[in-house]
Every structure is written in structure tokens, then in C-alpha cells.
Amino acid sequence: MSRIFSLWKSKLMSVNLDIIQRHPQNPLLCASQLAQLPGGCNSVFNSSVFKFGGAYKALLRVEQRSGLQSLRLADSADGLSFTVHPEFLLTPETEEQALYEEAIYDPRVTEIDGKHYICYASESRFGCQVGLAATHDFKKFERFGCIAETQNRNLVLFPEKINGKYYRLDRPYQDGAGNIWMCESPDLIHWGRPRCVIESRKFHWDRGKIGAGAPPIKTKEGWLVLYHGTVHLCNGLIYRIGAALLDLEKPWIVRSRAKAWLMSPEAPYERVGDVPNVCFLNSAIPDFERDEMRLYYGAADQVLCLATCRITELIEFAMHA
């Protein structure tokens, strides 16, 4: 037993655990910058930033001064400074949407074959479900609606079909606990074959509920899954970010999973906010040529932030940390 422990420890010691750099312009977006929007702004956080054409777009989670959630679109040339559009996106248009999608938030965007798919959490009097919409231009949307029963959150789509099928990760939960599950689909509407893929780990930093953060990223070493994990301490939850690699052909198989967390609330804007001690990831943008990964995350349920790291170090971390 002690031999196994020292082997594990020596492996852990040999990997650089501090590979994340917080961007000096953090927070990239905060409430005061959006105060003039219709409805005002209490917080802007847990938002998805993604490449679109030669530039960036962001789908922002904006909590209005009324407390109501809204999704807003923003444009950016560099992924650092954003122009936020005032329009509300994906508000209910049908009775069914009004019933099941009263408050939608925590968007994650995946591009599949040139189309952008928006995954989101949607709250209603029935609880929290996960919903899906698609668009080519962010002007017109095809709405799939809720694609799982309650209680479910943290839906992300894989960016391509695997063996002819679409795959998703989500996080069904109960009694404050929940693991990352996978389903497959022929058409993005009918989903089935649920499998539990990544479980929360007793005694570790991710021993509470866990959920996928960014949509999985294809690398030579496997599908890189960056996820959040929680731990419940006497003052509340801490949301941290971790890394795992799934098999490229059989993505329900975990090839490796870092024992250590990748990122933990540390900066003042992550420690203090509406919900303290939260780093909540919604998107990761790889630039393989420059060996750089951008991680866009919500901090303390208050502001939108960016951290970067080297992709090679991140893979090394996911394999051995």
C-alpha cells in the first residue's frame, strides 16, 4: 500500500501543477460594463466564447437587475474586448418553451459541420433540464428544446460524430451529488444508451458533484474533457477545474484523469462575488499552432475571465498530474 502511495506521489511530484496563467486584463467583462443594457446587469459570468469566422463571439449569461437570466451575444476581434448586443437571445416563443425554459443559462457552444449548437441549462417549475438550439448566423435559431428530463445540467456536445453517432456529456443529479454521463444519438433529438463516464472521487477535490465545462476537444491523446468539480466545506462549495482524457473511438472509456485540480479559486475576483470560490468553465479554445489553450470561465458567479496554458502541458497534466 505504501509503495503504491509513494509511486503515485513521485508521479505527481514530477508534473508541473501550476500551468495556468490568469489573463492580466481579468475580469474581461463585469456588470458595470453592461449596466446600460435593457434590464441592467447584476452579473455577467459562465459564458461561452468561441471562434466565428476570423473573430470571436461570446454567448453571455447576464443576470439582469430583476434577477432574471438572459443570454446576450457579444463580438470581439481578439477574444479580450467585447461589444455586447442588447437583444435577448432564445427567449420563449411557444407555449412549450415558456413552460420548460423559463430561465436559461450556462451556455456551451459546439461547432459541428459548420453549424453552431448551443447547449444550455433551463429552469422551470419542474426543476433544471438541459436544452439545445442550433444556428448558422446567430440571427435565426432552430430550437430542439429540452433533451433530457429533470434534474440535469452541464450539457456539452462532442464536435464531431464518432462511429456515425453524435455524443454528448451531461450531469444528472440528485441530493447534491452527480456524475458526468454520456448519451449517443443518430440525430441530436433522440438520445439513449446512457453511461456514467466520470464519477466524483471520494476524498479528492472533486468529491461533490462534477460536470463537463467546455465541449470536449480532440487531441492525439484522446478527447480532452475539462470539467468542474466541487467540494462542500463548512462555508459552502468550492468550484474547481480538472482534466481528463477519453478514448477517441470509445469515448465512454476514460484513458486518464488528473488527480490534482488544474485551477482553483485564488484571485480576488474568484474568491469574492455573488457566490464566492467559483471557477466555472464554459469554453476552451485551442490554438495548436501556438500551443495555447484559452480557458474562458465565470468567476464567483459575477464576472467573465480568461486563463491560458500550453496545450502540451495541459495534456501532460491530464495524463500524469
Residue 241 to residue 113: CA distance in whole angstroms: 28
Contact set for ligand BMA, span 66-95 (CB under 6 A): none
The least CB distance from residue 105 to ligand BMA, in Å, is 6
Q: Enumerate residues 6+ apart whose C-beta is below 8 A from 30.
A: 44, 302, 303, 304
The least CB distance from residue 230 to ligand BMA, in Å, is 8
103 binds ligand BMA, rule: CB under 6 A:
no
The least CB distance from residue 239 to ligand BMA, in Å, is 6
170 binds ligand BMA, rule: CB under 6 A:
no
Binding map of ligand BMA across residues 46-65, x = CB under 6 A, - = no contact: x-------------------
Residue closer to ligand BMA, measured from CB, 198 or 311? 198
Residue 56 to residue 306: CA distance in whole angstroms: 14
Give me 268's grid cell.
480576488
Residue 10 to residue 15: CA distance in whole angstroms: 9
106 binds ligand BMA, rule: CB under 6 A:
yes
Using CB atoms, what's the residue nearest to ligand BMA?
A: 275
The least CB distance from residue 196 to ligand BMA, in Å, is 19
The least CB distance from residue 2 to ligand BMA, in Å, is 38
- Out of 33, 275, 308, 313, the only residue in the binding site for ligand BMA (CB under 6 A) is 275
Contact 23, 285 (CB under 8 A): no
Give the DSSP H/E element, type plus range, for residue 203.
none
Give the DSSP H/E element, type plus range, for residue 146.
strand 141-146
- Out of 37, 49, 278, 318, the only residue in the binding site for ligand BMA (CB under 6 A) is 278
Residue closer to ligand BMA, measured from CB, 120 or 223? 120
Closest among 210, 320, 168, 172 to 256, alpha carbons compared: 320
Contact set for ligand BMA, span 139-158 (CB under 6 A): none
Residue 240 to residue 170: CA distance in whole angstroms: 17
Q: Enumerate residues 6+ apart whose C-beta is below 8 A from 16.
A: 313, 316, 317
Residue closer to ligand BMA, measured from CB, 172 or 298? 298
Residue closer to ligand BMA, measured from CB, 270 or 301? 301
Contact set for ligand BMA, span 288-317 (CB under 6 A): 298, 301
Within 10 Å of residue 145's Cβ, how many Cβ atoms? 16
Which 3 state secondary structure label does DSSP give 107?
strand
User: Which residues of the chain form contacts with ligand BMA (CB under 6 A)?
Assistant: 46, 106, 239, 275, 278, 280, 298, 301
